[in-house]
Amino acid sequence: MPDDTDILSLPLILPNQAQKHVTHNEALAILDVIVQLAVITRDQTVPPALAAIGDRHIVPSGATVDWAGQAGRIAVFTQAGWQFLAPQPGWRAHVLAEAQMAVFDGLAWTVPSEGAAEFAQLGVSATPDATNRLSVAAPATLLNHAGAGHQLKLNKAATGDTASLLFQTGFSGRAEMGTAGNDGFSVKVSADGAAWSTALAMDPATGMVQLPAGAAIAGGSAVAPGLSVAGDADTGLFSTAPGLIGLATNGTMRAQLTDTGLQLDVPVTGQAVTQGLSDTTAGRLLKVGDYGLGATGLAITDWNDATVNGATYMSATASNAPLVSVSFIGSFLRHNADTGIQQLSSHAGTPSPRQFIRILAAGVWQPWREIANQGSILGAVSQSGGVPTGRVIERGTNANGEYVRFADGTQICTRTNLSAANANTALGSLFRSSANVTWTYPAAFAAAPVVQGDCDDADCWMTCAAAPGTASASLRALAAVTKAAALTMRATAIGRWF
């Protein structure tokens, strides 16, 4: 005979057993825990510090301390401490903290809200049927978001099926919107639920909107057009007479389209167009050639006089140009009476074009500034009062080495073939060259530069014998071991040329 019951593992009283009441009481204690099972929580991973005798919990995964390794079991607090009971598939426990029933499926405890519920038919104050499997009778139906957006999805099996919203009167269709019989969105209406007319259709490939039954607007008038602009009731299209379409603004007809032509009742000829090369009359249309547009440009003899806003000019000998006797094409843009900007372009400096720009500030023209491009970025740099007046980068080579100058004042000089006779004169624990090497820079600096370098030999390097000057530097070779042969030194000086 087994010692425990097959299902609940309750201890059995054995024949001739002494102290039978102990076994009996143990079985009653187990039944006391699992009959009408109600637990406090099922998600608490740490045993409560102030548990009362009889408190029960479902131990979750990840439990610690006294509950470690007891996931899924029922923990009951007794006078002897925490005791654990292993559930059987199908056990039910009411979770007090959640006010819902949990069921053990053999692996884990689950509640109805964590699973998927399926119903063949569902009615809310209404009776569902085989077609209307969800039926709701209510003043309104709310489908709310769950923290973000919300979509109502109507899915159909194939293109020829229907996915739509049907509006009825007395269970007879009156309007339908959706994809009915195809994948194009449409709106249909019916007067009797039998005959339907498509009022609106949209092509799913292009989004093109169609009005298959047409759209009729009131004929209207100039002061109240049949098709008006939102917020401007007296501007829009109207019918001036059968077969005629009028365009009205501010309640007045401005144009009329007939079957023979277009009548315009606003000026487009005569005073409606510019009357000269620099006509600034407001409201006039610009002719080709005016302001130098579409032609060779307006002639100019002094670029200070080229102040017509938006005009294009052309001259080969005009004064106040950035280059003398050079043909320029220029334009002027005005901000107000005292400010503007002028830009000139020329083929001078072939093969690269040259462009210049200057501004009018407080009625005074400022100096011309050349616009750098691929053809003009390299060349001689220069400056006046700290303002660059030449190219952006200048590179040169002479017997003293190579140099690079930048328009911002930076200068870099290099020399790769300086020679020290040796490095065999003791200098503390090191050795230096017996004579210093003077390097005259390939280009002078405005102030003493930073000079650095190295030697083309192992265990030796280059250093300055004295503070560098603006035109030259005194250098020497240093070595960790004596060097009797000549040493080649490479030197770099970095500073400013202005």
Task: Read off the pLDDT of residues 82-141 as tens digits, 9 standing for 90 and up.
Answer: 999 999 998 999 999 999 999 999 999 998 777 676 788 999 999 999 999 999 999 999
Domain match, 404 and 479 both: yes
Which of 93, 113, 133 is where one domain is finished?
A: 113
| Domain-located, residue 382 | no
Asked whether the predicted pLDDT for residue 1 surpasses 50, the reply is no
Least confident of 94-108, 201-215, 370-384, 440-454: 370-384
Q: According to the model, what pLDDT value does residue 32 have?
A: 59
Domain count, the chain: 4
Lowest-pLDDT range, 9-13, 132-136, 198-202, 397-401? Answer: 9-13
Same domain, 453 and 485: yes
Residue 148 included in any domain: no
pLDDT tens digits, 276-300: 767 777 878 777 667 767 767 788 8
pTM over 0.85: no
Position 10 scores a pLDDT of 63
Q: Which residues contact 299 (CB under 8 A, 6 or more apart)?
A: 313, 314, 315
Show Cβ contacts of residue 419 under 8 Å, excluding neighbours closer than 6 positions: 437, 486, 487, 488, 489
Residue 423 has pLDDT above 90, yes or no: yes
Last residue of a domain, one of 67, 97, 113: 113
What mean pLDDT comes out for the span 168-192? Answer: 95
Domain that holds residue 361: 284-371
- Predicted local confidence at residue 377, as pLDDT: 87
Which domain-ending residue is among 113, 144, 178? 113
Decide if 105 is inside a domain: yes
Q: Considering the domain boundaries, does residue 398 fall inside one?
A: yes
DSSP 3-state of 373: coil
Flag the least confident range among 275-289, 294-308, 447-461.
Answer: 275-289
Using CA atoms, how far residue 189 sits from 118, 165, 185, 209, in Å, is 35, 12, 14, 17
- Mean pLDDT across 241-268: 86
Domain assignment present for 410: yes
479-497: pLDDT as tens digits: 999 999 999 999 999 999 9
Distance, CA of 357 to CA of 341 (rounded, Å): 7
Look over the chain and give the mean of its residue pLDDT values, rounded to a whole number: 88
User: Is residue 291 one of the residues assigned to a domain?
Assistant: yes
